[in-house]
Structures are given as structure tokens and as C-alpha cells.
Amino acid sequence: MIAYPATLDVPRELLGYVGRLLYRERRRRGTPKNSRRLTCFHQALFALAWFRSKPNIRLHGIAFGLSQATAYRYLHEAIDVLSTQAPDLHQALDRAVAAGVPHLILDGKIFNTDRCRIKTTSVKGETIDAWFSGKTSDFGENVRALCEPDGFPIRTSHVEPGGAADIEAARRHVLPAVHRYATTMPVIAGPGYQGAGARTLRTPPDQLNSMRKRQCSRGIARVACFATGRKDGDPLMRTSLETMCCSGHTHSGALSIL
């Protein structure tokens, strides 16, 4: 096996921050001194290096002298301590209001998963795979996200099976909290969310040509806002969420920190 030098393009302050979180977690658990293969600093380095390039976890662990099982455990510990620092949905919405965010965008994505053994009953009474997504024609997990106008996600939802409809996942994890903010900070979503409640979500209409002129102008504006935020934010959201999902340990709050 050949070793080679590499550079991690993250600020040293971030490395120190994650290392201190891991140190406090070890103190909380009562971990004996020198009982771990990696120090807190090097565990933080291990986790951040994985976040940046998502290498094969087994080979990444070998580079740090870890077995595959230990590599997964160290990565999950880092995600755990980061997720505890994230604001909950209500706090994230309060911060957005305080910052004067004009509106938010509700979007999401289906991510690949190997959770394919759980069954559920469809609306037709048939037994189907809960994690199979008709949208992607593959097994996946459904994650919703609230984003700022430029597409930056402020909060992500808990994972739902890929077979769950977007509007269903939003009703479970997003809409109840968003409702009381909707009058001062509108939430724009795609046509797939129509029926979620006009007072909570504003969705681009399907047929703009049939609307009156004033309504059409509003509809076009919503389409433009949604499209702009999705274009700018989808690559960021996709990359960040894939980082969580590829670890097999998705947290609704970790993205807000990363």
C-alpha cells in the first residue's frame, strides 16, 4: 500500500471547533484517557476529510489506522456532536424572521438507500416496499429542506421512506411549524405541494394562462422565486445531504452546522 500527502481545504478553526465538541463528548461519556485510537483532533480531521470528498469509508479508515467498523463509529460520533449544535425548526424560523428573510423555499430530494426490506400497505391495499420511490424508480429516502431565497438550507427534515409523497413528508415535519410564520415570511413550494394550505404555502399555479392578469403576475413571480432558489440551492443542498445520507446516519440538524 502506498501513502501520499494530501491537503484538507478547511479552516483550522473549524477543525479545532469539531475537536472541542468531540472532547466534551468524550468527557461526558467518561472515556478513559489514551483509550482511543485517534485523539479528538485527529478524529475531527478524519471526519472533516470524509465530509469534503466522501471517500470509501474502509480505505479512509485504513489511512487513519482504523478498521471499517471503527471508521463508521468515529464518523457517526462526529455527526452526532455536530447535530446537537444545530437549531431546531422553530429556532431556525425565528432566526430567519429576525434576519429579515423575505421568503423561504420548501424543497427536497430523494437519496439512494439500501433500506429495501420494509414493507407497507399502499392506498390501494397492496403490499409494497416502503422505501421504493416511484419518482426515481429506485429505493431511496425522502428529505425535505427549508431554504433561504438564495437556496441555502436553514433546516432539513427527518428522513421519510422514499415511497412517502413530498407533501406527506412536509405535513409531518415542516408545515405545522411553518404555519404561524407564513403571514410575515411566505413559504414558496413547487406545484406538488398544492393542497397543503394556501395560508401556509404559496405554490406556482399549473395553468397560468387561465388566470386573470393580476393573478398571473403573482403566479409568475412565485415561479421565478422558486426557480431561482432551486437553481442556486439545489447543488448545495444535494451535496450536503448526500454527505449525511452516504454515512447512513442522516440527522435533521447536522446540515445546519455544516
Q: 47-105 pLDDT, tens per residue?
A: 999 998 888 899 999 999 999 999 999 999 999 999 888 888 888 888 988 888 888 88
pTM over 0.85, yes/no:
no
Query: Does residue 230 or residue 70 have the better pLDDT?
Result: 70
**Distance of alpha carbon 123 from alpha carbon 32, whole angstroms:** 53
- Name the band, by pLDDT with cuts 50, 70 and 90, for residue 110: confident
Question: Widest CA span of the chain, in angstroms?
Answer: 72
Alpha-carbon radius of gyration of the chain: 21
**Distance of alpha carbon 33 from alpha carbon 30, whole angstroms:** 9
**Distance of alpha carbon 46 from alpha carbon 156, whole angstroms:** 24
**Distance of alpha carbon 97 from alpha carbon 3, whole angstroms:** 50
**Distance of alpha carbon 221 from alpha carbon 208, whole angstroms:** 11
Q: Are the beta carbons of 141 and 162 closer than 8 angstroms?
A: yes
Structure confidence at residue 255 (pLDDT): 47
Q: Is the dihedral of CA 109, 112, 114, 120 positive or negative?
A: positive
Question: 143-153: b or e for each residue (b if 16 or more CB lie within 10 Å)?
Answer: bbbbbbbebeb
Distances (CA, A) of 12 to 26, 48, 60, 64, 213: 21, 11, 20, 19, 55
**Distance of alpha carbon 119 from alpha carbon 166, whole angstroms:** 19
Closest CA to 196 of 220, 218, 169: 169
Q: Are the beta carbons of 71 and 57 closer than 8 angstroms?
A: yes
- Name the band, by pLDDT with cuts 50, 70 and 90, for residue 258: very low
**Distance of alpha carbon 163 from alpha carbon 248, whole angstroms:** 18
**Distance of alpha carbon 15 from alpha carbon 235, whole angstroms:** 24
The three grid cell numbers given for residue 144, joined into one nine-digit string: 425535505
pLDDT(257) > 80: no
